[in-house]
Chain A
């Protein structure tokens, strides 16, 4: 069974940092592009970043570029999102999602982890 499990969310002060993790199981992690998608409370979905299977291609939304950094460790079946200089508007549930062949075919999603940026 394909599973994606996010962790690392929590409450952080504005300007602070947080690192999210997404651990995968049930499929060959190293063969798939994995993305981060977020959803602010009561709002819609927003694409955040994409990382190719071999880490050769990484893309970010303009809203997080320069502050967020995505990385992955295929040996650990894990994707990470390092979030720096956090702002109130970064408050959201962060999902990792697997890409099936091409964007935006997100065929499996994790359950999400909540990040709250507040003093």
Chain B
């Protein structure tokens, strides 16, 4: 199973909004509302941002939002801040054998 497809990099200026896409297949992203998003700063463990397409875990800023259309999930970050500069990963449930697949990651640069 190939990784979910994410853009290698995106960029935006402080205060702007950006969207990161995560494209899978009808057998994973398109089939289940089980897509999560994670933020990872260099040398740190991933931090959860979104569960089940659009649910924010407790403590996550409402500047982060998630959505899905067909086989593509999206993470939108509004009001970009310098500390948002990080790598972002999507993940999806696949099936009851292989369970989880991750995207290749997207590096966000805040200009």
Residues of A within 8 A of B (CB): 35, 37, 44-47, 50, 59, 61-62, 95, 97, 100, 102-107, 109-112
Contacts and interface: CB of A to CB of B under 8 A. Distances in A.
Interface string B81-111: 0000000010111001111111111000000
A102 B102 contact: no
B51 A105 contact: yes
B99 A106 contact: no
B51 A103 contact: no
A46 B102 contact: yes
A59 B38 CA distance: 22
A37 B100 CA distance: 10
B45 A104 contact: no
Contact of B89 (A44, A100, A112): A44
B15 interface: no
Contacts of A103: 34, 93, 99-100
B57 A107 contact: yes
Contact of A35 (B3, B40, B52, B100): B100
Contacts of A111: 45
B93 A44 contact: no
Given A104-B91, A110-B45, A112-B45, A45 B98 contact: no
A59 B46 contact: no
B46 A47 contact: no
Contacts of A46: 102
Contact of B46 (A35, A95, A102): A95
B30 interface: no
Contact of B100 (A62, A104, A112): A104
B99 A59 contact: yes
A109 B46 contact: yes
Interface string B39-54: 0100001111001100
